[in-house]
């Protein structure tokens, strides 16, 4: 589960970034909550990936933040493989 801790740390870093809009920070909090439920790992990852995809499509997300989001997506995809 060390990978999950790294993913949560990356999400936390994004939430603390002053350049990330509040609505995006709120959605990132949803992703963290989805990853920390008691559900099956695959279900948690799928829910988080769905939320991250929606966040990355938001026009308020800056390119640098979008790149960080895709890095988290990549980390999540490797957890289930």
Domain that holds residue 56: 2-79
Work out the burial of residue 78: count CB atoms within 10 Å of its CB; fewer than 13 is exposed, 13-18 middle, 19 or more buried. exposed
pLDDT, position 21: 93
Confidence band of 67 (pLDDT split at 50, 70, 90)? very high
Please tell me the total count of domains within the chain.
Answer: 1
Confidence band of 61 (pLDDT split at 50, 70, 90)? very high
d(CA 4, CA 29): 15
pLDDT digits (tens, 9 = 90+) for 19-41: 999 999 999 999 999 999 998 99
CATH code of the domain containing 44: 1.20.1440.50
Contact yes or no for 57/14 (Cβ under 8 A): no
């Amino acid at each position: 589960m060390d990978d999950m801790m790294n993913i949560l740390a990356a999400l936390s870093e994004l939430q603390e970034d002053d350049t990330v809009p509040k609505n995006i920070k709120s959605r990132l909090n949803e992703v963290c909550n989805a990853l920390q439920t008691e559900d099956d790992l695959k279900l948690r990852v799928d829910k988080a990936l769905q939320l991250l995809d929606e966040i990355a499509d938001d026009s308020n997300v800056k390119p640098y933040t979008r790149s960080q989001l895709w890095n988290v997506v990549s980390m999540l995809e490797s957890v289930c493989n």
